[in-house]
Structures are given as C-alpha cells and as structure tokens.
Amino acid sequence: MLFSTTCRTRAAYSAGSPSREGIGTCWASDCRAGSGRPCSIGVSNSPGAIAAKRITGAFSVARQAVQLGFFPRLTTVHTSEDAEGQIYVPLVNWALFVAVILLVLMFRTSTNLASAYGIAVTGTMAITTIMLGVLVFKVWKWNKLFAGAMIGLFALVDGAYFASNITKIPDGGWFPLLIAAIGFTVLTTWAKGRELMRENAREMSVPLKVFIKSAAPSTHRARGTAVFLSSTADTIPSALLHNLKHNQVLHDRVLILTVKVEPVPTVDPANRAQGTDEGEGFYRVILHYGYMEEVNIPRALAAVDNCGGPFSMMNTSFFLGRQKIIVGPRPGMALWRERLFAWMLKSSESAMEFFSLPPNRVVELGSQVQL
C-alpha cells in the first residue's frame, strides 16, 4: 500500500494538484470499498507487514520447539479460531524487543550490520541444504546417486557463499554465530535434561493396576478426593508415590488425571471427559481440550458424574509433583549444563496456573532428581 499510494500521490503532484485535498482524494479513491484499485495489494509488501511476518514466524518456531521437547512450556495465546498456527507468545515478543534494542545500540548503522547479515543469510542457506539432505536421504529415501549429486551441487554453491563471508566475522559476523550457539546450547540442554528425567521416571514407575492390587487394600484411607496429574494414564505419577511414602495414606477416592490437547480448535463438552473405574476407589480420567480452549480442570470435573459421584472442590485436593534437579557426579551432562537445565525447569510455566487450579486446594510434593 505504501508503494501504490506513493506512486499515485506523486501523480497527483505532477498533475498540478499538490494540495492536501488532492492527496487525500487520491488516497480515498484508491481505498474506498469496491474501487477495484491496487490500494490493498501492496499491504503484504510494506516493511511493517514483513516485520510482522517475521515476528509471527518466531512465535511459531518457539511453539514447535516446545512441542518437539526442545524448550520448556511457554504461555501461548491463540488469536484465531480458524488457524491453529496464529498465536502470540509473550516471552518471545519481549525477547525480540530486547534483542532489537541491543542490536541497534551495538551496530548503530545498517552499514555496520552488513557483515552480520551476510553471515546470517549464507549460514541459513547452508543449514537448509543440510536439512534437505537429511530429508531426501532419511525420509524420502531418494536414489542415493541422484540425491547425492543434487545435495552436492547445493552444498558447493552455499558453501562458497558462506566461505566468502568468513572474513567478515571480526567485523560483526560473530553476532549471528553467537546467537546461534546460544540457541543451540539452550535447546539441546533442555532436550537432554528431559530425556534424563524420563529415564529416571521409568526406573521408578509402577503400573496402575499393579499398584492398585498391591498397595490400595492395605493402606489407610482418608476422607475426600485426591487428584494426581499424570502425563500417562496407565502408570502411577511420582506425586502419588511420594505421598504414600511419606504420609502413608490414600484418599477414599483417587483420580489419575491426564490432560490431552487435541489438534482442533474446540472439543464438544459432551466428549470432554473420559473416565474409567479401576477399582478400590481409583479412577482414571482423561480430559480432552482443543488448542483454542483454556484448560480448566475444576470446571471439567464438575461435569463428571461416572467417577464415584459429583466433585466438591472443598473436599478435593490436587497433588502436583515438582522436581528439583540435583547437580551431581552421575554421567549425564556437564555440570554447567545441568545448572542451566535446572534454571529452565524452575522458570517454566506453573502447572497450577496452566490448569486453572484453585491455589488453596493445591499440594505440591517436591522430589530431588539427580541427572
């Protein structure tokens, strides 16, 4: 729109009507409804629109990193009922703001930024070629001779471009390399830390049915309902095991609750809850939510009537597990990476806020995990 309007404004001046009224008439004539003129076709090419696309792209990349297990859970706001990918991530938005301010203060002018831009662009081209190679060889399984020749050609061109920019590293090219190294370190540290935690949890996991048969009949029962959140519906969460270990008690009604977010905007409330009676006062419940919906466990449980009767929040306690990472000599990660992972785990979004749990009904049971 900036391009189209500028051209027609200049045309208005050249036609001998340089007044503001002439310019305003020119603008309005292009933008009135039904004019069919090219006022709106240039909107996507304006600098503001291009910058907005890059920002929304950063939101999507961050969300994909979370879904792939390379980044801790972030607060994500869905802004459209029709497009799942139209999101807003506050943390990423503020991080971009701070990064841009620092970039301007460091480089001052666009000329000084040229070296950094060259490394970023050619580096992106080289990485894209590597990813394409993985795709054609590992996923699509193309003919090795043909795929090798194609990837080799791309690698030759991209490698030449990248090599020609290596001399610019001291003049500012170090900046995108530093950002890339920090991002790579953070992503791989979180992924490796979560893998080590899963291995630790598998060593301590107990199948639900085995636990019910062995521990439930002989354990003292307390009045009320206990809800234990679990990522899997067929095993006992660590919070329940720690509660039994230290308090030596189980509630009259115990819910093993799993929340699943489906790839649809909304889920029919009639299909929200899926409950199963496992016996001995144990119930397995799975709540289904769409990606546009706010997860509200108390509201969903109020509509469940096939798990031992209605739920009263005053008689229900929600038990959450909170792990504290202990940096130790066990083989896993370097000590500084373990400290980084511990900080990321501590800074991730609270499960109580994410699931809309009442603060006065939540019990957090901490456990120490040595990676």
Which pLDDT tens digit goes with each residue over 194-232?
888 888 877 777 888 899 988 888 899 999 999 999 877
- Rounded Cα distance between 216 and 283, Å, is 12
Number of domains in the chain: 3
161 and 112 together in one domain? yes
Q: Could you tell me if residue 64 is inside a domain?
A: no
222 and 182 together in one domain? no
330-369: burial string, b at 16+ Cβ within 10 Å, e else: eebbeeebbebbbebbeeeeebeeebebeeeebeebeeeb
Give the structural domain span for 297.
Answer: 204-370
Average pLDDT over residues 290-298: 83
364 and 244 together in one domain? yes
Average pLDDT over residues 188-192: 93
241 and 326 together in one domain? yes
Q: What is the pLDDT of residues 35-60, one digit of tens each?
A: 444 444 444 455 566 667 778 888 98
- Rounded Cα distance between 97 and 226, Å, is 43
- The answer to pTM > 0.85 is no
- Rounded Cα distance between 264 and 282, Å, is 30
Domain endpoint, select from 153, 183, 199? 199
Q: Could you tell me if residue 54 is inside a domain?
A: no
Whether 75 has a pLDDT exceeding 70, the answer reads yes
184 and 153 together in one domain? yes
Q: Which two tokens stand for residue 17?
A: 């009507």
Q: Could you tell me if residue 31 is inside a domain?
A: yes
Q: What is the pLDDT of residues 237-286, one digit of tens each?
A: 888 988 898 889 999 999 999 998 887 878 898 899 999 999 899 999 99
224 and 101 together in one domain? no
Nearest CA to 116 among 179, 182, 50? Answer: 179
174 and 225 together in one domain? no
Q: Could you tell me if residue 60 is inside a domain?
A: no
342 and 254 together in one domain? yes
Residue type, 242: H
Q: Could you tell me if residue 23 is inside a domain?
A: yes
Domain endpoint, select from 184, 199, 214? 199
Domain endpoint, select from 169, 199, 229? 199
